[in-house]
Homo-oligomer: A and B are copies of this chain.
Amino acid sequence: MRNLKLTLAYDGADFHGWQVQPGRATIQGALAEALEHVTGATGLPQGAGRTDAGVHALGQVAAWSTAAPIPARNLAAALNDALPPSIRVLAVEEVAPGFHPRGTARAKTYRYRIFRASVCPPFIARYVWHHPYALDEAAMMAAAPLVEGRHDFTSFAAVDAERSERLAHEEASNVRTIFSSRWARQEDELIYTVRGDGFLHHMVRNLVGAFLLVGRGTLQPQALCQILAARSRSKNPAATAPAAGLCLMEVEY
């Protein structure tokens, strides 16, 4: 049995997210199909992050085990032949049996792109949130580091009944550490880069939504600390930012 680590890039616009769903195009499903086509072996690859519908990746990591003898080097090329051009295998490495793409990840980095000019070029429309309206970008930049550190991020997590149950029984925790949180301007784009030890469902998009309220002047930067302390999604007035702007950049082990 060989344990493989696959590094993937994908354009998520035409997929219903990472996680396999019957009758829908998903990244995990397409990858499983390609793996079966190339090696003859079945089994779902496990991802480091379950990216939502429309979310992209430059450095998603998946694990897959196989008894097939195909060399790792040829596997990447063979998979890329079998996959649609919107999903690319960037690297295939053999790893130790204990490798779990989610559990053993040391850090993940996400990027969120907001396009600020009045007309969004059609060639990047799939990869950004087009928001040409007035924003106090300096206030957003000042607010970004306030969420760094170890916090309970319940106020920034999607509400999920099953997970709430597990949290109540202390089988899960919403405590995460954000190592760095920064907004930066790059030509017509306002780009948020966040690196942390893990992220809750919708956490990056809800953080972006809250920073946007700071940019609009609806929230003071310090209000983010109160929202964090409240540990309740209903105490966070921010809407979840659209999926298109989000990209999983890197998973570190």
Chain A interfacial positions (CB closer than 8 Å to B): 9-11, 56, 76-77, 80, 85-90, 118-123, 125-127, 130
Nearest residue in B to A77 (C-beta to C-beta)? Answer: B118
Contact B80 A125 (CB under 8 A): no
- Specify which of A120, A121, A130 lies most central, judged by the most chain B CB atoms within 10 Å of its CB: A121
Partner of A125 from the list B77, B86, B89, B121 (CB cut-off 8 Å) is B86
Secondary structure dominating the interface of A:
mixed
Whole-angstrom distance between the alpha carbons of A115 and B129 in the complex? 27
Residues of B within 8 A of A56 (CB): 122-123
Contact B11 A88 (CB under 8 A): no
Residues of B within 8 A of A9 (CB): 121-123
Contact B86 A122 (CB under 8 A): yes
- How many copies of this protein are present in the complex? 2
Contact B11 A130 (CB under 8 A): no
Contact A88 B10 (CB under 8 A): no
Residues of B within 8 A of A77 (CB): 118
Nearest residue in B to A127 (C-beta to C-beta)? Answer: B123
Residues of B within 8 A of A122 (CB): 9-11, 56, 85-88
Q: A56-B122, A85-B125 are in contact. List 20 more A-B contacts (CB 8 A).
A: A9-B121, A9-B122, A10-B122, A11-B122, A11-B123, A11-B125, A56-B123, A76-B119, A77-B118, A80-B119, A85-B120, A86-B122, A86-B125, A87-B122, A88-B119, A88-B120, A88-B121, A88-B122, A89-B119, A123-B127
Whole-angstrom distance between the alpha carbons of A121 and B90 in the complex? 9
Chain B proximity of A152: nearest CB distance (Å): 35
A-B complex: 10 closest residue pairs judged by Cβ atoms:
A85-B125, A11-B122, A86-B122, A10-B122, A88-B119, A88-B122, A9-B122, A11-B123, A9-B121, A90-B119
Nearest residue in B to A87 (C-beta to C-beta)? Answer: B122
Chain B proximity of A155: nearest CB distance (Å): 31
Partner of A85 from the list B10, B80, B130 (CB cut-off 8 Å) is B130
Chain B proximity of A197: nearest CB distance (Å): 27
* Between-chain CB contacts (< 8 Å), 6 pairs: A9-B122, A11-B122, A56-B122, A77-B118, A85-B120, A85-B130
Chain B proximity of A48: nearest CB distance (Å): 18
Chain B proximity of A20: nearest CB distance (Å): 19
Nearest residue in B to A12 (C-beta to C-beta)? Answer: B122
